[in-house]
Structures are given as structure tokens and as C-alpha cells.
């Protein structure tokens, strides 16, 4: 049977699903077409057990998955989650819970929140061997380094300390136990030491669900965002943070928790963090939760908000890796 490129990428290239493996596949109602294609291909491969669960519109928003899904995630060889709809305020807890359940086991794990058919045909139909090469080149130049400086023409001048922190590589190739990341993929990222980020960063491209017209200026002292300036989009961001601060671990909402670098040549800016943070020529700086093995940080928070910045200059221990959005490695 002939399959779209994105099906072959997910099953054969990215996850390398093999005969006899146990797979947990979670999708939602709008992505039923995707579920059918993946189930068909995995059946051809000859998986042993295929557990498929659909989040129906009738139960949304869904703060927690049924308990049995967390148990299956701990037992599976491969866990795949692709959902078109995601209410960040209410449904983020179950996403973090599922990551923790996967990390309790040995599964290879890929997640595509807020995915849609257009993403399947673009970002998920990219050349993932090329993405892995770009990601690993950048990751090699970050690994084992200490001081990071990010600047932009719009006024970003931010200093971070990544001493001792592992650089994560979201290559899209998840072939070994406990490998994990997003699909579509294409970034390398690191959790800076939580109280050692200082300066200013100006987000001019997007936050989750927010395409930015009036850049947002964030001032950071000892790892914590102290001031947020801008227009309507800045107010939207502040609303998200203030809502998070009313929840358990809300005190961690303003902590700078991630530096990421986009490495997917097919990725487009859409106001969708799944694709925006993968765009070549951008970096993203996140605030919020990073206390997971997949991040390597220590900050707990009920949210994780990635701010995408265009045309950055990235200097690591005095070496320029990106100059005005052009990659030098």
C-alpha cells in the first residue's frame, strides 16, 4: 500500500517501529484520518500490541488522561501522541503527566500537540536525516559550554549560564529506548541554570497561540522575568502567566527555563509552538516548567511558554554560532 511521506517518516524513519513491538497511539477526533493511516502502516510492520485511544470532542477540555493510558505508556516500546486541539490552560497537566509516565518506563516517545493536516504535508514531510545533521552540528557546539549571549537588532541582550547542563537534540530520530521529542522535530535546546539568566529578550515572532505584531520586551534578573512590556500581545502573555501563578507551583511561571534553536528547514511561523520553535534562523526562550528528564532542569511550574525570536546572534563562550539568523556551523 502506498502511504504519504509523513506516514513513512513517523513509522519507519523517525520511530523505526519494528515487528513485535508494543505501541500506544493517542490521537483526538479531528486527527482520525492520521490515526487510520498510522494504524494501517504499523499493522503492516507487524507490531505485537497496538493500543489506540481517541480523545473525543465530547470530553474536552480534558485535564487528565484515563489512568490506564499512563500504565500502558510505562509498558510500551513506543508512545505516539498527536492531537489537533489543546487547551493550554486546562490540558497542559495531562501532557506533563504523560511525559513523566513515559520517563518511568523505557519507551521511545514522540508528541505532536496542535497538529493538523497542513503540518503533516510540510514539517512532517521534511528530510529528517538532514534535520538530524543540522541539529547535531549545533548541539556539538553547545555541549560542554558555559556562557551564552543572545542579541538582536530589536534590543535583545541576554546572558545565560548553561554550565553542566545537557544539551538536548530533537532530531526527530527516536530509535533507542527513552529517546523522546516532538514530531515534527527540529531543534536543540538546553535548560539554563535557573537563577543565572540576566538581561533583556525581545520576542518578535510568537508565543503559543500568539502571532506577534508588537514585539514583547521581557527583563530578566537572576533567572526571573521582572518586567513585561509591549502592546496587546504582551497583555495576552501576562494574562497567561498570571493565570498560571494561581495554580500549584505558580511561583515558577516567570523563571527562564529553556534556550532552543530551530533546525527544521520546512518549518513555518504560524502562531503554533509545534512549528514555530523549529524554524531555521530563530531561537526560542521559554519560561516555566523544565523539571523533567527531557529538559534537565529543576524548575516546576504549571506552564511552559516558548517565545520565538527572529534573526538572533548567538555567541557561546566567545564563539559566534548564529549571526543575525544565519547559521555558521
- Number of domains making up the chain: 2
| 114 and 150, same domain (yes or no) | no
| 135 and 266, same domain (yes or no) | yes
Q: Answer yes or no: are the C-beta atoms of 249 and 302 closer than 8 Å.
A: yes
| 253 and 275, same domain (yes or no) | yes
| 285 and 216, same domain (yes or no) | yes
Using the 3D structure, point to which of 101, 125, 149 is the last residue of a domain. Answer: 125
- Say how many C-beta atoms besides its own lie within 10 A of residue 90's C-beta: 12
| 176 and 73, same domain (yes or no) | no
| 106 and 147, same domain (yes or no) | no
Q: Name the CA dihedral angle for 250, 251, 252, 256, rounded to a multiple of 10 degrees.
A: 130
Q: Can you tell me the distance from the alpha carbon of 23 to that of 72, in angstroms, rounded to the nearest whole number?
A: 9
Answer yes or no: pTM beyond 0.75. yes
Q: What is the CATH number of the domain that holds 51?
A: 3.40.1830.10
Beta bridge mates, 221: 224
What pLDDT is attached to residue 78? 98
Range of the domain at 57: 5-125
Owner of C-alpha cell 523539571 = 291
| 294 and 214, same domain (yes or no) | yes
| 65 and 195, same domain (yes or no) | no
Angle between helices 88-104 and 232-244 (to 10 degrees): 60
Q: How far apart are the first and last CA of the chain?
A: 40
| 105 and 138, same domain (yes or no) | no
| 134 and 121, same domain (yes or no) | no
Tens-binned pLDDT, residue by residue, of the chain (329 aa): 799 999 999 999 999 999 999 999 999 999 999 999 999 999 999 999 999 999 999 999 999 999 999 999 999 999 999 999 877 778 878 888 999 999 999 999 999 988 999 999 999 999 999 999 999 999 999 999 999 999 999 999 999 999 999 999 999 999 999 998 889 999 999 999 999 999 999 999 999 889 999 999 999 999 999 999 999 999 999 999 999 999 999 999 999 999 999 999 999 998 888 899 999 999 999 999 999 888 999 999 999 999 999 999 999 999 999 999 999 99
What pLDDT is attached to residue 92? 79
Range list of β-strands (E), the chain: 22-28, 49-55, 78-83, 108-113, 147-151, 157-161, 168-170, 180-182, 187-190, 198-203, 206-207, 210-211, 216-221, 224-229, 256-262, 282-288, 304-310, 313-316, 319-323, 326-327
Using the 3D structure, point to which of 125, 148, 173 is the last residue of a domain. Answer: 125
Q: Can you tell me the distance from the alpha carbon of 300 to that of 100, in angstroms, rounded to the nearest whole number?
A: 13
| 142 and 237, same domain (yes or no) | yes
Using the 3D structure, point to which of 73, 101, 125 is the last residue of a domain. Answer: 125
| 228 and 196, same domain (yes or no) | yes
What pLDDT is attached to residue 1? 79
Amino acid at each position: 500500500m502506498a502511504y504519504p511521506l509523513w506516514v513513512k517518516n513517523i513509522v519507519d524513519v523517525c520511530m523505526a517501529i519494528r515487528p513485535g513491538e508494543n505501541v500506544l497511539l493517542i490521537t483526538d477526533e479531528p486527527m482520525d484520518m492520521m490515526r487510520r493511516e498510522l494504524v494501517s502502516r504499523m499493522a503492516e510492520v507487524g507490531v505485537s500490541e497496538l493500543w489506540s485511544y481517541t480523545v473525543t470532542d465530547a470530553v474536552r477540555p480534558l485535564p487528565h488522561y484515563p489512568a490506564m493510558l499512563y500504565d500502558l505508556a510505562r509498558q510500551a516500546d513506543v508512545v505516539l501522541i498527536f492531537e489537533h486541539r489543546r487547551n493550554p490552560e486546562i490540558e497542559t497537566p495531562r501532557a506533563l503527566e504523560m511525559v513523566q509516565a513515559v520517563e518511568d518506563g523505557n519507551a521511545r516517545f514522540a508528541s505532536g500537540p496542535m497538529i493538523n493536516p497542513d503540518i503533516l504535508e510540510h514539517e512532517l514531510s521534511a528530510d529528517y536525516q538532514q534535520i538530524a545533521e543540522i541539529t547535531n552540528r549545533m548541539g556539538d557546539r553547545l555541549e560542554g559550554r558555559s556562557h551564552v549571549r543572545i542579541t538582536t537588532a530589536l534590543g535583545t541582550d541576554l546572558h545565560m549560564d548553561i554550565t553542566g547542563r545537557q544539551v538536548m537534540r530533537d532530531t526527530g530520530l527516536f530509535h533507542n529506548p527513552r529517546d523522546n521529542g516532538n514530531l515534527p522535530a527540529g531543534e536543540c535546546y538546553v535548560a539554563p541554570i535557573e537563577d543565572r539568566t540576566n538581561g533583556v529578550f525581545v520576542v518578535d515572532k510568537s508565543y503559543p497561540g500568539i502571532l506577534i505584531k508588537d514585539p514583547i520586551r521581557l527583563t530578566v534578573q537572576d533567572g526571573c522575568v521582572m518586567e513585561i512590556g509591549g502592546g496587546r500581545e504582551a497583555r495576552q502573555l501576562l494574562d497567561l502567566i498570571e493565570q498560571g501563578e494561581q495554580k500549584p507551583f505558580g511561583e515558577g511561571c516567570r523563571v527562564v527555563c529553556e534556550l532552543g534553536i530551530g533546525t527544521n528547514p520546512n518549518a513555518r511561523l504560524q502562531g503554533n509552538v509545534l512549528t514555530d520553535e523549529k524554524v531555521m534562523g530563530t531561537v526560542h526562550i521559554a519560561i516555566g516548567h523544565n523539571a523533567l528528564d527531557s529538559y534537565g532542569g529543576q524548575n516546576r511550574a504549571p506552564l511552559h511558554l516558548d517565545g520565538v525570536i527572529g534573526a538572533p546572534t548567538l555567541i557561546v563562550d566567545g564563539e559566534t554560532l548564529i549571526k543575525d539568523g544565519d547559521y555558521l556551523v
